[in-house]
């Protein structure tokens, strides 16, 4: 059955400057949950005027947020205080991820994790799992039930961690190929080959990951790159013959136009050129970088960037808070970003980087109706600030800097309400 959503529409076109705005707009969904019509609420076509409707008044209807980097098995370990990335991994992260060998634990956690994404207006994500196949199976199954465009894979890691989270080369390959065969392209699910990072993979495993990536047609590749000084120093010890960190991944065929590298803070000019030439993406995760003291990533580089929360290194599930922190980090770098660019990166931009833009990421007719409803007056502070807003840019800017999950009034995936009253 078709359905109508009413509210203030803010829809991006091919770039952040191209905004379609209806102060009182309507979105009509068809029975498959795809957007069938978009326009002024005064001109709803006769075919939809009798459809059931959710009227969100003057709240904003935007494309749902896409989180380009998040760790499912870290869903409950935000704000674990550590001295740096490597201390944080060994002290908190690996022991928590070890629990995900248990199917019951992972299945229960997947429901909580996805509900938390929806409560924050996030409708799609590229997520890491633990090294256990059960973890990826649980997340794929939960996301399919919710009809989400979700991308994940089992993490490959066969050294420099506690045994309970390590795998080994051959079994890791078999598990990865099996997950690809069973879940990639099933409904809206996609698969990503997922070596954690070069510190926790032997050369044999990185070689295998490159070979398996070739076999997994259409799969993404996700890993971490150049996050902290301690990590980079360790890479130099482990891979003394490679000229830099990126070169390690290049050597094993992991730098491609389907590759997403979280962080990429301390990249040299050579690394930036290599990533750009391959068409790879660096995913900026500011709340995590600030929390772990990893550094200030410069977004004005000739390279494609996505945005992610990096929960649980990140301190918030909220892409709104991630936009606010992105703005502040870039201000410290001497770059002032517009709110429209921030929102574009978190929606249409991330959809393009994750190769799901044919399916989601904007409010164009024909896309799945993945929608977040944002109340610009959700809190007293927002309401007072909203009274001063004079433009769409003003409204978006206040939401990016002052908003969080309280501003998310409702979330829709494939036209179905998954959060909100
Ligand atoms: Zn991460």
How many Å lie between the centroid of ligand 1 and the Cα of residue 175? 21
How many Å lie between the centroid of ligand 1 and the Cα of residue 62? 26
How many Å lie between the centroid of ligand 1 and the Cα of residue 268? 21
Q: Considering only CA atoms, which of 91, 182, 92 is closest in space to residue 136?
A: 182
User: Do the domains 65-317 and 3-63+363-419 match in fold?
Assistant: no
The DSSP annotation for 15-72 comes to: STT-EEEEEEEEEEE-TTSBEEEEEEGGG--GGGTTS-EEEEEEEEEEEPEEEEEEEG
pLDDT string in tens for the chain (421-residue length): 789 999 999 999 999 999 999 999 999 999 999 999 999 999 999 999 999 999 999 999 999 999 999 999 999 999 988 888 888 899 999 999 999 999 999 999 999 999 999 999 999 999 999 999 999 999 999 999 999 999 999 999 999 999 999 999 999 999 999 999 999 999 999 999 999 999 999 999 999 999 999 999 999 999 999 999 999 999 999 999 999 999 999 999 999 999 999 999 999 999 999 999 999 999 999 999 999 999 999 999 999 999 999 999 999 999 999 999 999 999 999 999 999 999 999 999 999 999 999 999 999 999 999 999 999 999 999 999 999 999 999 999 999 999 999 999 999 999 999 999 7
Under DSSP, the state recorded for 323 is: H
How many Å lie between the centroid of ligand 1 and the Cα of residue 263? 8
**CA gap 49, 80 in Å, rounded:** 51
Give the number of other Cβ atoms within 10 Å of residue 121's Cβ. Answer: 30
How many Å lie between the centroid of ligand 1 and the Cα of residue 283? 10
Where exactly are the structural domains of the chain?
Answer: 3-63+363-419, 65-317
How many Å lie between the centroid of ligand 1 and the Cα of residue 128? 8
H-only helix segments in 239-318: 245-251, 269-278, 286-291
How many Å lie between the centroid of ligand 1 and the Cα of residue 421? 32
How many Å lie between the centroid of ligand 1 and the Cα of residue 158? 17
How many Å lie between the centroid of ligand 1 and the Cα of residue 250? 20
Q: To which CATH superfamily is domain 3-63+363-419 assigned?
A: Urease, subunit C, domain 1 (2.30.40.10)
CATH code for residues 65-317: 3.20.20.140
Under DSSP, the state recorded for 368 is: B
**CA gap 134, 101 in Å, rounded:** 6
How many Å lie between the centroid of ligand 1 and the Cα of residue 227? 9
């Amino acid at each position: 059955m078709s359905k109508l959503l009413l509210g203030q529409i803010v829809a991006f076109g091919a770039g952040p400057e191209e905004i379609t705005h209806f102060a009182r707009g309507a979105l009509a969904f068809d029975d498959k949950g795809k957007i069938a019509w978009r326009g002024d609420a005064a001109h709803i076509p006769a075919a939809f005027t009798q459809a059931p409707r959710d009227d969100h008044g003057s709240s904003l209807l935007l494309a749902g947020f896409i989180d380009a980097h998040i760790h499912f098995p870290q869903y409950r370990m935000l704000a674990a205080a550590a001295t740096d990335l490597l201390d944080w991994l060994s002290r908190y992260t690996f022991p928590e991820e070890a629990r995900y060998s248990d199917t019951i634990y992972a299945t229960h956690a997947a429901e909580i994790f996805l509900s938390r994404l929806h409560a924050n207006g996030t409708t799609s994500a590229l997520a890491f799992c633990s090294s256990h196949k059960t973890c990826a199976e649980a997340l794929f199954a939960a996301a399919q039930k919710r009809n989400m465009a979700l991308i994940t894979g089992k993490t490959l890691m066969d050294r420099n961690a506690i045994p309970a989270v390590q795998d080994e080369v051959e079994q890791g390959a078999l598990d990865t190929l099996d997950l690809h065969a069973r879940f990639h392209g099933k409904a809206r699910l996609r698969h990503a080959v997922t070596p954690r990072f070069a510190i926790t993979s032997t050369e044999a495993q990185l070689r295998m990951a490159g070979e398996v990536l070739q076999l997994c047609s259409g799969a993404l590749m996700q890993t971490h790159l150049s996050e902290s000084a301690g990590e980079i120093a360790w890479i130099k010890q482990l891979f003394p013959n490679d000229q830099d960190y990126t070169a390690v991944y290049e050597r094993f065929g992991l730098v491609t136009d389907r590759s997403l590298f979280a962080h990429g803070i301390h990249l040299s000019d050579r690394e930036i050129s290599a990533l750009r030439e391959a068409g790879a993406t660096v995913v900026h995760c500011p709340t995590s970088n600030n929390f772990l003291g990893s550094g200030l990533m410069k977004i004005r580089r000739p390279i494609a960037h996505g945005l992610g929360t990096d929960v649980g290194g990140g301190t918030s599930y909220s892409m709104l808070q991630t936009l606010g922190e992105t703005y502040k980090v870039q201000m410290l770098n001497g770059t002032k970003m517009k709110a429209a660019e921030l929102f574009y990166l978190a929606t249409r931009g991330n959809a393009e980087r994750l190769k799901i833009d044919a399916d989601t990421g904007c409010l164009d007719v024909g896309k799945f109706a993945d929608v977040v409803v944002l109340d610009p007056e959700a809190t007293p502070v927002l309401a007072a600030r909203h009274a001063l807003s004079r433009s769409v840019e003003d409204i978006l800017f206040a939401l990016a800097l002052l908003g969080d999950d309280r501003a998310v009034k409702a979330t829709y995936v494939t036209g179905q309400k998954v959060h909100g009253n």
